[in-house]
Structure 1
Amino acid sequence: MSPLVKIRSERDQMSAVERRIADFVLENAQLLRDYSSQQLANALGISQSSVVKFTQKLGFKGYPDLKYSVGEAIARADNSDAPQLATASDGDAGGSTLWRRKSEAEEATRLINPPETLQAVAEAIALAGRSGKVFIIGLGEDDIYARNFALRLSLLGILTVHNFDTARMTANISVAGAGDVLLVFSEHGNHPALGKIARYFRERRGQVITVTRHTANPLRTLADLALVVSAHDELPYIQPLLYQSALQHLLDGLFVQLCEGGDDRHAQLLANLDRIQLMLEP
């Protein structure tokens, strides 16, 4: 994993001092080779030991190891991007930067959700689809992705119970049981009502799957399985775009895994798409 991708993916779980170091490294990666650990500490107004501990926490032997790894990553990126940069127009600089940041967020999100976790989530949803129900909830903007994923599961023939009202969902899960799945979308994972719903669902012996940011949050602690999204940017109008892009990419991968997990689901998808097309025809 690229050291810059690793720093981005772990940033949301860092302490305040560690985030300052991470942001400096990410924003000044090209200049890092000119900084010693003491100079970096002085620039940030922190102790040298904080810099050393930061690098070791990321899995590097020390600051020189991190600096060398970052330099290698930049060199590889420069070599692969050179033709594209040579032809890019100045007017497209903003769009190219956004595309690159989205790609980085998607890569970081992919790396912090190992294949075995995605496989376990796909199997839990598939099992619930055969013998039970999949309950899905998201509030506010999270409901956009909850609603869309519920539709996709329905196209695969998986019975879904989707709601964006916490009171109605509480009533819905009163009929939940073992083998059912609750999929909770919550970017920050700190909505009290969603935590109560997750606890109630677990009392019904159902399995809770959460989709949140890659942070330590109350909802994630209640999850049997957790999908996490890594997306950070200092600009307030960019960060939501990165989160949305990385989240959609994660859900697309899960949907594809479900589609390819059985011929019956693939056949059901095609049949439902045909029915919908017939409904739309005049």
Structure 2
Amino acid sequence: MQEVSAIYTIRSKYQSLSTKEKMIADFILEHPKESVNPSIEKLAERIGISESTMVRFARKLGYNGYQRFRIALARETIPKSEQLYETEVSEGEEVLGMVFKNTQQALLETLQTVDRKAFKNAADLIYRSRSVYLMGLGGSNILAQDAYHKLIRIGLDCQYTSDFHMQLMLASQAGGHDVALIISHTGEGYDTLALAEELRGNECKLIVLTSNIRSPLAKLGDAVLSVSTYGSRIVAESFSARIASLVLIDALYVEILELMGYAGMENLNRMRTVIAKRRI
């Protein structure tokens, strides 16, 4: 069954909207594509209304929440190529060059905007922790696994699993001497927030790696590491954000190794020795 147009729904229910809701409708009808990418906070601020009014507006149109409405709006206003990746592919443009260009731009913007103090704090929290919990769901789970692969090389006590329920179980065992690195592109998923809230409830320190620094997840973090996305945040599996996250994890690894000094290098060399024995 084909989904009803979000634009059509706004127009058909326009007369039943309140004055403030009509302000939202007017803005979206006049700027449909520009209304997709900003977060709910930024769009509400731009229109001059509250976030709660945005949510009520979406529900009055028949959507479960603002994010569902936003996705529906994107489907009819954002080109298919931009929904698949992060930017529209112009006619005749080489896809290979476009993908590399976007990734390079995301890396550059991340380097320029990442909070250096938060980065140093995150490395110190991991260095001083008893155990490091590495968590992420969906595409972010791959990033968490990469962080796990890096940190066990230098002898840190790391906890990782790919299953959500197992992650919840691990979170229930964390304590005040531990730290968790939670990775989420949007920072808005219910399950990711459940992990963060369980960890915080157990007084575990929380490092958040996300491209949405105004997200509910980021607000729970003791240290927030932000990655830039070159394009639309509506693309939940943002490719350029993933690459920038991997590089930021590499940088964390090197920073922690610096803090560990001789002990870290000894652990790294022991790992290299045992792996070398398995090579022809």
- TM-score of the aligned structures, taking structure 1 as reference length: 0.62
The 3-state SS of whatever aligns with 2:104 is: helix
Equivalent in the alignment of 2:114? 113
Residues 96 and 194 of structure 1: CA distance in aligned 2, closer, same or farther (over 3 Å): closer
Distance 1:184 1:249 in 2: 16
Query: In 2, Cα distance between the equivalents of 1:168 and 1:115?
Result: 32
Which of 43, 59, 67 is the matching residue for 1:15?
43
User: What secondary structure sits across from 1:15 in the alignment?
Assistant: helix
Task: State the match for 1:185 in structure 2.
Answer: 183
1:210-249 correspondence to structure 2 within 5 Å? 210-233=208-231, 240-249=238-247
Distance 2:224 2:234 in 1: 26
DSSP 3-state at the match of 1:183: strand
**What's the CA shift for 1:99?**
3.0
- Contact between 2:187 and 2:210, CA under 8 Å: does it hold in 1? yes
* Structure 2: gaps spanning 5 or more residues: 1-36, 47-91
Query: C-alpha separation between the residues in 1 aligned to 2:122 and 2:270?
Result: 25
Aligned to 1:101: 102
CA distance in 1, matches of 2:268, 2:125: 19
Cα deviation, residue 199, structure 1: 1.5
Which residue in the other structure is 2:249 paired with? 251
> Is 1:138–1:163's contact at 8 Å kept on the other side of the alignment?
no
Question: Structure 1, residues 23-50: CA drift from partner, whole Å, max 9, x if none?
Answer: xxxxxxxxxxxxxxxxxxxxxxxxxxxx
Work out the percentage of aligned pairs sharing the same amino acid: 22
Q: Deviations over 1:27-84 (max 9, x none)?
A: xxxxxxxxxxxxxxxxxxxxxxxxxxxxxxxxxxxxxxxxxxxxxxxxxxxxxxxxxx
Alignment equivalent of 1:206, drawn from 204, 214, 226 = 204
Contact 2:115 2:226 in 1 (8 A): no
Compute the displacement of 1:92 (Å). Answer: 9.5
Are the structure 2 counterparts of residues 95 and 269 from structure 1 closer, same or farther at C-alpha, using a change threshold of 3 Å? same
Residue 124 (structure 1) aligns with: 125
Choose between structure 1 and 2: higher helix proportion.
1
Q: Give CA deviations for 1:188-228 in whole Å, capped at 9, x if unaligned.
A: 11121221221121121110111111342111111111111
Q: Structure 1 regions of 5+ residues with no counterpart?
A: 1-9, 19-90
Compute the displacement of 1:183 (Å): 1.0
Aligned residue-pair number: 198
